[in-house]
Amino acid sequence: MLELTVGLGERSYPIFIGKDCFDHAAQYLKSKPIGKRYCIIADDKVASLYGELLEKKFAQAGIMTEMITFPHGEQSKTLETVAKLASAMAQRGFDRKDALIALGGGVSGDIGGFVASAYMRGIPFIQIPTTLLAQVDSSVGGKTGVDIPEGKNLVGAFYQPKAVFIDPEVLKSLEKQEVLGGLAEVIKYGVIRDTEFLNFLRDKREAILAFDSETLGELIYTCCKIKADVVAEDERESDVRRILNYGHTIGHAVEAASDFTLIHGLAVSIGMVAINKMAVALGCLTSDDADKVYSLLTAYGLPTSIPESYSREKIKKYLLTDKKTVGGTVFFVIPDGLGKTVIRGDISPELIDIVIQ
């Protein structure tokens, strides 16, 4: 079992990565309980795959759980879903001495974490991510929230979990699109912080795509370590943490312009290529380095261009409602060579038009 820590002083917490993490979560909470009873929040799809197994493991450890589900998909990531889940918890008698388990992908983690942050003015929770994207990114760092019509993740809170439990074995149940979406976030880490990791991803591509557990464990550990280090430096995204949004500003706008039919990770892949074009035009990134990233994305079968059917006007509209937009200025995380980034808010509308074509 691999283990690392997100260092946030009194709010520090462990991340466990390895086989049989459901068992490990049950035993960990038996020895270090964070609640007298646990509400498991999961979408209907994940609940049918893993809900019964998780409840069984907790029951064997003598831990009381109750599961509440919601319809799967980004369309459920709304304030209405949060209200329904909170009402269901209240009807079942959950109180401030209880805790929450967010089981599933990024949507479940974001919703579950947000419910935990608000229910009874805050109850403790843990993350058990079941998608690659959630395992390497969204389950770590305490970002929670939901979408509103004006944009993605515009309502939420920073609320750290008490622990994260990651089992690479569950990835074998994912559809290909979900795996690809996670790989876009994985490649992101190499571009912003670790060029050797890019070489690892290139050299280990076959093992990664074959779901080799040891290779995936190493991959997940590296991503979580990079994110944990960044979060420890800047928990609330006032400065350093913004580098994690590489590819996301344009990616979120593309995702929204698709009416969320394009999954998040694939939109991020498209956003990374667009931002790299911007970086080349600004003289921050060489064409050779941009090509290296492009080649890696295509080697994994990730999309690299915005579909023609997506409205460019819609994309520009959503850019202006991005969380990183201040006073009408859109800020972009731009590679400054591989392994480094700069944040720029002086990008001309003309250049934006060029890179989103």
* Contacts of residue 90, Cβ cutoff 8 Å, sequence gap at least 6: none
**CB neighbour burial string for 111-146, b if at least 16 within 10 angstroms, e if fewer:** bbbbbbbbbeeebbbbbbbbbbbbbbbbbbbbbbbb
Q: Which of 245, 277, 292, 323 is catalytic?
A: 245
* Residue 72 annotated to the active site: no
Q: Which of 24, 193, 252, 277 is catalytic?
A: 252
Identify the CA nearest to 201 among candidates 151, 63, 137, 209: 209
* Residue 276 annotated to the active site: no
Q: Do 219 and 186 meet the contact criterion of CB atoms below 8 Å apart? A: yes
Q: Which of 143, 152, 188, 242 is catalytic?
A: 143
Amino acid at position 71, single letter: P
* Residue 264 annotated to the active site: yes
Tell which phi-psi region holds residue 241, choosing left (phi > 0), alpha (psi between -120 and 50) or beta: alpha
Q: Which of 121, 176, 206, 214 is catalytic?
A: 121
* Residue 245 annotated to the active site: yes
Alpha-carbon span 88 to 232, nearest angstrom: 34
Q: Which of 55, 178, 218, 237 is catalytic?
A: 237
Backbone CA torsion sign across 81, 85, 11, 7: negative
DSSP state of 329: B
| 7: its two tokens | 């260092």
Q: Which of 57, 193, 227, 292 is catalytic?
A: 227
Helix (H) or strand (E) holding 200: helix 195-203
Alpha-carbon span 46 to 251, nearest angstrom: 25
Q: Which of 55, 74, 178, 185 is catalytic?
A: 185
Q: Which of 152, 248, 292, 324 is catalytic?
A: 248
Q: Which of 162, 242, 264, 324 is catalytic?
A: 264
Alpha-carbon span 80 to 157, nearest angstrom: 16
* Residue 3 annotated to the active site: no
Q: Which of 241, 277, 292, 323 is catalytic?
A: 241
Q: Do 4 and 224 meet the contact criterion of CB atoms below 8 Å apart? A: yes
Q: Do 76 and 134 meet the contact criterion of CB atoms below 8 Å apart? A: no
* Residue 24 annotated to the active site: no
Alpha-carbon span 277 to 306, nearest angstrom: 13
Torsion from C-alpha of 240, 245, 250, 251, nearest 10 degrees? 180
Name the one residue in this structure whose structure tokens are 């509400």.
39
Residues marked active site are found at: 121, 143, 185, 227, 237, 241, 245, 248, 252, 264
